[in-house]
Amino acid sequence: MIDIATIRKRAKRRKRTQRIGFSTLAMVTLITMVPIAMVVIYVFIQGLPAISWEFLTEQPREGMRAGGILPAIVGTFWLTLGTAVISVPLGVGAAIYLAEYASDNRWTRIIRVAIINLAGIPSVVYGLFGLGLFVLFLNFGTSILAGSLTLSIMTLPVIISTTEEALRAVPSSFRVVSISLGGTRWQTIRRIVLPQALPGIITGVILGLERAAGETAPILFTAAAFFLPRMPGSIFDATMALPYHLFVISTQVPGMPVKIQYGTALVLLVFVLGMNLIATLIRSRSRARRQW
């Protein structure tokens, strides 16, 4: 027999275990969150003094130890844009295929496995692949083109999976109605599904490009120039890029002023954070406005 007092005591003990457990989880979560915030704040504090109009709009001087970082900013911009131009149509197209056309058969599963694998391949291996295929075999040389192509393939899985999710979130009843009114599959996708999924797609694309903009390893042997104090003239030129520049000035150049290092880090961080912020805003906006 168990009397009431024992039951109460046990209940109390279980309550306490739960309280302790929940507090521990909260603490650990805090341990994850605090460093993220600290990284951002710290880079801002250390980097802000270096930021000036000259820093953002001038060429580097004195072996990168003075002057600005404009070529790196411009280079990252072009690489990101190039990646977008290639990966967005390809990724969105693949997502449309998977969400709207593919039936659940063996080939579709193979495609999914391929995408999962693309997502898992180390970024430096993408760099090797880009070197082997685009730089050497196709003879694009170390160039914005080769770098963008390499980054595009790396970015594909992110764009495909987020876009597919956005497409699948559109209620299937819309599709049935559109088809029943004499719409073809593509008319249905273009007029109903894509417009409804657009905010989600844009969010996914930006998150994918954010990843690409911050990557170093894939452009290491495919696009990046150590020091090239001028603007890239065409897509066949090598270019400086923010992440690679940060790597160079923090490991390869002795006697580098810390201020410039943090300044570069801050510009890179703002680039990435800005994209992240835009993505988050679009997502929350569209959720609030959604009619279904």
Return the residues of window 146-175 that contact another protein according to CB under 8 A.
153, 156-157, 160, 171, 173-175
- Residue among 66 and 176 whose Cβ is closer to another protein: 176
**Does 116 sit near another protein (CB under 8 A)?**
yes
Among 6, 9, 12, 26, binds another protein (CB under 8 A): 26
- Residue among 53 and 260 whose Cβ is closer to another protein: 260
- Token digits for 203? 């969010």
What secondary structure does DSSP assign to 196-229, as a single string?
HHHHHHHHHHHHHHHHHHH--HHHHTTTB-S---
**Does 138 sit near another protein (CB under 8 A)?**
no
**Does 132 sit near another protein (CB under 8 A)?**
yes
Among 74, 81, 111, 282, binds another protein (CB under 8 A): 111
**Does 121 sit near another protein (CB under 8 A)?**
yes
Distance in Å, CB of 48 to another protein, minimum = 16
**Does 219 sit near another protein (CB under 8 A)?**
no
Closest CA to 279 of 201, 182, 183, 196: 201
Total residues contacting another protein by CB under 8 A comes to: 111
Report the C-alpha gap between 171 and 115 in whole angstroms.
25
- Residue among 46 and 53 whose Cβ is closer to another protein: 46
Report the C-alpha gap between 232 and 234 in whole angstroms.
6
Among 62, 137, 254, 288, binds another protein (CB under 8 A): 137
Among 48, 66, 125, 198, binds another protein (CB under 8 A): 125
Report the C-alpha gap between 158 and 209 in whole angstroms.
9
- Residue among 35 and 63 whose Cβ is closer to another protein: 35
- Token digits for 181? 């009114």
- Token digits for 102? 């593919």
Q: How far apart are the first and last CA of the chain?
A: 55
**Does 48 sit near another protein (CB under 8 A)?**
no
- Token digits for 285? 């906006």
Binders in 74-103 for another protein, by CB under 8 A: 89-94, 96-98, 100-102
**Does 256 sit near another protein (CB under 8 A)?**
no
- Residue among 63 and 195 whose Cβ is closer to another protein: 195
- Residue among 58 and 112 whose Cβ is closer to another protein: 112
Distance in Å, CB of 29 to another protein, minimum = 4
Please, where are the H alpha helices in the chain?
Answer: 4-47, 53-57, 70-96, 106-120, 123-130, 144-169, 172-180, 185-188, 194-214, 217-220, 242-251, 258-289
> Which residues are bridge partners to 60 per DSSP?
67
Q: Measure the CA dihedral 198/209/81/97, to 10°.
A: -50
**Does 9 sit near another protein (CB under 8 A)?**
no
Among 83, 143, 148, 196, binds another protein (CB under 8 A): 196
